[in-house]
Structures are given as structure tokens and as C-alpha cells.
Structure 1
Amino acid sequence: MKNSTMCYIKKNGKTLMLHRTKKENDIHEGKWIGLGGKMEEGETPEECIIREVKEESGLKLNNPKLRAILTFPKFKDDEDWYVFLFTGEDFEGDIIESNEGDLKWVDDSEIFSLNLWDGDKLFLKWLEDNRFFSGKLVYEKGMLIYDDVVFYDY
């Protein structure tokens, strides 16, 4: 089981997206995704996403908002992945060159025209509901074969 984080950083009607083009043997090669990565031993999800955003973009993320927990059964190397999904609007610093791909501020109206994972298209829409949710996305050979979501009201 792998624990990881992902964040969609927003500013002025745009979202910072990462076009994965630079890593070898990258399961995300050619896809546009949010920033994030695997949790290190002893890290909280918040500590992880702040570190990952800094490493990948140079930005210091303040007050990330936990919006969802996503489950990806047997996503890579037959391992289950659990992703703590964040959004963020409070950040400082300047964007650096990422060693994982190309960073770009994309107009929110153009996000769904990018080469996204099919599951990402779903949870990005689920985020619009503004409620915390738990989602399950099952892929087989890179194809989404099942999805489910539970929204929570508090």
C-alpha cells in the first residue's frame, strides 16, 4: 500500500498543472496532473503536500485544504494507492523548473481538454461539489473500469 498526496493550486481562474514529460518509466507519462507525491515515513498528509509542492514547483504552499481521500486499487505494480487530495490558493514564491515535467497555469475552462486520466476528470468534477468525499477509482491496463464516490455532509 502506498500513501500519497495531490494538490490542485488555484489562482485567478487558473490551475497549476504538471505535464509529466521528463521521468523515465513514468506511469503518468504524457498526462497532466496536479502536484504531489509519496508520503515519507512519519509525515502527515499536510507535511507531505507542502514538501512535494515545494520540490516540484518552488512554491511554498500555505494552509492546504484536504478535500478528499482517493483509493486506487492495484494502480501501479499491483499495489493499492491512497491519495490525500488537496486544493490550495494560499502560496508564495516563484515557480521553478520541475524535474518531472512542465508546469503551466491552465485556465479552469480548459482543464478538461488536457490529456487527463479518466479518473481525474471525475474527481475534478467531484471537487466542484464543495463537500468532502471518498472516491474509488479502479484501473485495468491504464483504463478506468470502475468508479464510486461517497460525499460527506458535516
Structure 2
Amino acid sequence: MKLAVLCYVENEGRVLMLHRNKRKNDYHLGKWNGLGGKFLPGESPEDCLLREVREESGLSPESYSLRGFITFPLFDGAEDWYTFVYTAKTAQSEVTDPEEGTLAWIPKDEVLSLKLWEGDRIFLDWVFNREALFSAVFRYEAGVFKDYEVVFYSGST
């Protein structure tokens, strides 16, 4: 089981996206993602979020918000991934590209036109356009999207 964070950093109507184009054996090669990665031992989700955003972009968000949780059963064919999904705000716009790829500020209304994982097209609507916290399961087989389930939370259940 892998624990990870995924963060969509926003600045002036734009979202910082990572084009995974540098590592030949990258499972995400050619795709665009938000920033994030795996927890280090002892990290909280927020510690991981701040560290990953800083390591991948050089940015330190002024604020951030938990938007939901996604389970990816056997996403990489080996392990389940449990991902905490955040948005963050920053006034900074100068970034440093990470070793995984190239960063770009994309107008928010153009993010869905990028080469994304198919499931991302579904949950990004929840991330950017819904107030409710979500918990979802997205199933892929050999990199091909199969289906999803979601529950939205708005207060007590």
C-alpha cells in the first residue's frame, strides 16, 4: 500500500501542472499531473503536501485545502495507492522544474485539454467546482481506466 498526496497549486486563474516527460521508465510518462508524491515515514498528509510542492516546484503555498481522497487499487499493477487530494494557493509564479518533468502554469479552463489520466478528467471537476469533500475509488487495469465510485460529504453523514 502506498500513501501519497496530489496537489493542484493555483495562482491568478492558473493551475501549476507537471508534464511527466523526463524519465523513460515513468509510469506517468507523457501525462500531465498535479504535484505530489509518496509520504516519507512519520509524515502527516500536510507535511507531505508542503514538502512535495517545495521539492517539485520551489513554491511554498500560502494556503491549502483538502478536497478529497482517492483509492487507486493496484494502480501500478503492484500496489494500492491511497491519495490525499489538495488545492493550494500561492502568490509566487516562478518555479523550478523537478527531475520528473517540466512545469507549466495552465489556465484553469484549459487543464482538461491536456493529456491526463482518464480518471483525472472526472475528479478534477470535483476538485475545482464542488465544495463537498469526496472519497472515490478509481480502477485502472494495465493503465486503462475501467470505472469509479464516489461519495460526497457535506457535513455529517
| TM bracket (short chain) | over 0.9
- The amino acid that maps onto 2:135 is S
TM-score (norm 1): 0.95
Checking the alignment, whether the CA contact within 8 Å between 1:60 and 1:93 is kept in structure 2 is no
Match in the other structure for 2:135? 134
What stretches of structure 2 of length at least 5 have no aligned partner? none
- The amino acid that maps onto 2:14 is K
Q: Deviations over 1:61-113 (max 9, x none)?
A: 23321110100000114200000000011454731122111100001111111
- The amino acid that maps onto 1:30 is G
Aligned residues: 154
- Percent identity of equivalent pairs: 45
1:47 corresponds to 2:47: yes
* 1:97-108 equivalences in 2 (<5 Å): 97-108=97-108
1:9 corresponds to 2:6: no
Q: Which runs of 4+ in 1 moved over 6 A?
A: none
Checking the alignment, whether the CA contact within 8 Å between 1:131 and 1:153 is kept in structure 2 is yes
What stretches of structure 1 of length at least 5 have no aligned partner? none
- The amino acid that maps onto 1:95 is V
What is the distance in 1 between the residues matched to 2:80 and 2:35? 19
- The amino acid that maps onto 1:144 is F
Match in the other structure for 1:145? 146
* 1:82-93 equivalences in 2 (<5 Å): 82-90=82-90, 92=92
Checking the alignment, whether the CA contact within 8 Å between 1:8 and 1:35 is kept in structure 2 is yes
Match in the other structure for 1:18? 18
Checking the alignment, whether the CA contact within 8 Å between 1:45 and 1:84 is kept in structure 2 is yes
What is the distance in 1 between the residues matched to 2:101 and 2:133? 29
TM-score (norm 2): 0.93
What is the distance in 2 between the residues matched to 1:11 and 1:126? 19
CA pair 60-93 structure 1, distance change in 2 beyond 3 A: farther
Q: Deviations over 1:99-139 (max 9, x none)?
A: 11110000111111100001111110122112100011000
Cα distance, 1:38 vs structure 2? 0.2
